[in-house]
Amino acid sequence: MDIRSFNKQKDFETLCGWWDDWGLFKHHQDGLSENGIIVSKDEVDICSGFLYSTDSHIAWIEFITMNKNTTKKQREGVLEKLMDALVEKAKNMGFRLIMGLGTDEQNNKSPLLAKWREKNADIVINNLSQYYKVIN
């Protein structure tokens, strides 16, 4: 598995394609953090996510997206690798906590993400799951 930084010029169209495949809203390129990561396996980009800075000790994880046109075997372990990389990046940037939110709708579209959230979410309120972790 390979981990690399998200390159807005090179990777944005790929990400837009993934959003289209999942029927998700296409976010504006300028709204994406400079702290994006892509995980690849066998030279195929599989998933991406972004880390957003706040004016507190909390870093925010957002826009976790999987390449829908990959096999279950290709996707195996990539979400965990992405989240580990985002947490490590947050630690290196001096953050002490990391947080993210997810919805039932997202879970319905991505069983892999739903399984990860079920295992890692600290709080579930109605259709919203919250991931909150002390990292430093």
Mean pLDDT value across residues 54-78: 92
Residues 22, 8: Cα–Cα separation, whole Å: 20
80: left (phi over 0), alpha (psi -120 to 50) or beta: alpha
pLDDT digits (tens, 9 = 90+) for 79-105: 889 989 999 999 999 999 888 876 656
Angle at 18 between CA 34 and CA 35, to 5 degrees: 10
pLDDT of residue 80: 87
Model confidence band, residue 128 (pLDDT cutoffs 50, 70, 90): low
| Cβ neighbour number for residue 125 with a 10 Å cutoff | 7
pLDDT of residue 112: 64
Mean pLDDT value across residues 107-120: 65
In the chain the domains, ranked by start, together with CATH numbers, are: 2-134 (3.40.630.30)
pLDDT digits (tens, 9 = 90+) for 48-65: 999 999 999 999 999 989
pLDDT digits (tens, 9 = 90+) for 12-26: 999 999 999 988 889
pLDDT of residue 46: 96
